[in-house]
Structure 1
Amino acid sequence: MLNSDPLWPRAGDWPAPTGEEWADVALIGMPTSRTSLSPTQAHTTPNAVRAALRRYARVSELRIVDAGDVREPDLHEPAAIDAVAALRAELVVALGGDNAATVPTALGRWGGAVETAGLITLDAHYDLRDGITNGSPVRRLLEAGLEGCRVVQIGIEPFANSLAYAERARDAGITVITRDELRSRSMEDVMSQALEIAGAGGGPIHVDLDVDVCDRSVTPACPASVPGGISAIELRTAARVAASHPAVTSIDLVEVDAAADSADDRTVRLVALCVLEAISGVALR
């Protein structure tokens, strides 16, 4: 039970969207998990994140709304796309779910602007697999019309990918920034480069924050995280920098299985803090 303190207003418990009213930030749960390559209960994560948000302070006076969860987005992807498209907000933050959540979130925000849109992923993996799984969202967005020259993938772990997918990324014209490169650069610098590349078409940018880009010690609820990933504060920094950019219209937080988290809920709490960092970023626009 959390202490009640009138001098410390809590985050979370934001109202649902109403009518045509505009919001600064809209949350939506995208509980994808049915097509995951690893057994997962990632569909439990959106509500776990909402609960974790109550542990932290309200960070701004921006208008924040929470549209609730999309029902069965794996089975009804067109409806999930429409649910995102209907949100009237400066920034949409989608709470996954596995990485399959990226497709409906990005397409819902891009609308007819796919050919000018940009994509930034912070992820250990290329997500260029065949089929429709949590390992294929980048390939599917490319097939939907996204130009590879406006895709930037940050934090790729070479040992967690095959040469075939590295070649796919290269052939598509994707800019890849590996974990080795991140050792000598700040996240602010990397995100600045990524935003410039992704925004070159003048269209909307979607940012996929796949939490398994982080070191496994800080993200035990990510089935595919590996030792040697980025730190929690680097992921939080990426969320804030991305959200501060006016061309970024959506962010997703994915690949967390709340049911597999450690006893201290460290992964879910990190996701909640990334939501708050994104809100703080929008306040800087």
Structure 2
Amino acid sequence: MADGSASLSHDDLWPRAGDWTPAGRINGDLDLTLIGIPTARTSLSPTRADATPAAVREALRRYSPFAHDRDADLDVLTLADAGDIIDPDRDEDAARQRVADVATRSRLTVALGGDNAATVPAALGAWGGDIATAGLITLDAHYDLRDGRSNGSPVRRLIETGLDGHRVVQIGIQDFANSRAYAERARELGITVITRDDLLRLPLDDVLAEALAVAGGAGGPIHVDLDVDVCDRAVAPACPASTPGGIAAHELRRVARVVAQHPQVSSIDITEIDALADVADERTVRLAALCVLEAAAGLAAR
């Protein structure tokens, strides 16, 4: 990716997003904390997803913190950046603990992957000891129920750790991107599946309301995994497994804002982008940056 930060214009009346104080320099509680989980070692597709957190931070500076909805005013929030976890693939337990340390101070933790393996430490760290009542919502083209340990297995691994499959909702699952065996595994585990075809006929806000009710049914914390390969490949060319016919950029942005408004949503991750594989206009990374801002706007509207 080209470093365009040096060429950005300056305007005292047009502040830039992303200039957030390091979390360690802020005393007391935080509203939203950004943390990088640059997983990539176990990916099923060759990826440099470990380069993505830095790229998203750079892309944030291309945008303003201003939203036209007064309820979504980011100026009312205390925003912080906890930096990147070092080698989270090698020591997942340490990564989980680092997220837990951040989450205890934050109303909302936003984790920047990394591939989808980042979802495991992100969710477990944010849930703390509440996994028995926790819920999970994924925006993903894939079930992520594979055997073994990879970016294709986080949902299975979380369920095996104690997450109740009946409080898992998977939105955007696509035809020709999964297998019959994993579809059957999802049914056996009690997962609520809302396919891409379902999204073509159902209002998105209604889908999200159902998902939040299911995932939050036990009253515990909800983690939301925004796997950007749920998007159309024209929108997300830097996602190795994105396909033509996925959801639109505005739909993913809407999801980020709506879920962040919900009081039980304690954490969100944004995963599966290989920043070094993006096209020249950096559309995938910029979409991820906008999802961070949408999440912040949703939190401001709680």
Match of 2:53 among 46, 57, 77: 46
5 Å matches for 1:213-224?
213-224=230-241
Which residues in structure 2 correspond to 1:27-176 (within 5 Å)? 27-59=34-66, 60-61=74-75, 62-87=77-102, 88-176=105-193
Q: CA deviation at 1:187?
A: 1.7
2:197 matched to 1:190?
no
- Match of 1:224, SS state, is coil
Superposition pairs for residues 202-221 of structure 1, below 5 Å?
Answer: 202-221=219-238
Partners of 1:46 and 1:186 in 2: how far apart?
Answer: 31
Structure 2 gaps, min length 5: 1-6, 67-73
TM-score where L is the length of structure 1 = 0.99
SS at match of 1:121: strand
More off after superposition, 92-101 vs 187-196: 187-196
Secondary structure in structure 1 of the residue aligned to 2:119: helix
SS in 1 for 2:31: strand
Residue 196 (structure 2) aligns with: 179
Q: Cα RMSD between the aligned structures?
A: 0.7
* Secondary structure of 1:176 counterpart: strand
**Residues of 2 paired with 1:20 and 1:168: CA distance?**
45
SS in 1 for 2:137: strand
> Shift in Å at residue 116 of structure 1?
0.4
1:8 aligns to 2:3 (yes or no): no
Q: Percent identity of the aligned residues? A: 66
Per the normalisation by structure 2, the TM-score is 0.93
1:20 Cα deviation after fit: 4.8
Task: Map Cα deviations across residues 230-256 of structure 1 (whole Å, 9 max, x no partner).
Answer: 000000000000100000000000000
Query: Could you give the per-residue CA deviations for residues 248-277 of structure 1, whole angstroms, max 9, x where no partner exists?
Result: 000000000000000000000000000000
CA–CA distance in structure 1, aligned partners of residues 140 and 37 of structure 2: 18
CA distance in 1, matches of 2:28, 2:274: 33
1:273 and 1:247 map into 2 onto residues whose CA distance is 22
The alignment of Structure 1 onto Structure 2 pairs a total of residues equal to: 285
Query: What SS does the corresponding residue of 1:24 show, helix, strand or coil?
Result: strand
- CA–CA distance in structure 1, aligned partners of residues 86 and 203 of structure 2: 38
In structure 2, C-alpha distance between the alignment counterparts of 1:16 and 1:78, rounded to whole Å: 23
Q: Which runs of 4+ in 1 moved over 4 A?
A: none
Distance 1:283 1:28 in 2: 19
* Aligned mate of 2:30, from 23, 41, 49: 23
Offset at 1:13? 2.1
1:237 correspondence with 2:257: no
Give, in whole Å, the separation in 2 of the partners of 1:50 and 1:188: 28
Comparing 32-41 with 13-22, greater Cα deviation is found at 13-22
Structure 1 SS opposite 2:176: helix
1:64-115 Cα distance to aligned partner (Å, 9 max, x none):
0000000000001111001111111000000000000000000001111101
Q: Which moved more, 1:63-72 or 1:18-27?
A: 18-27
- Partner SS state of residue 86, structure 1: helix
CA-CA distance at 1:127 after TM superposition: 0.2
Give the alignment of 1:255-270 within 5 angstroms.
Answer: 255-270=272-287
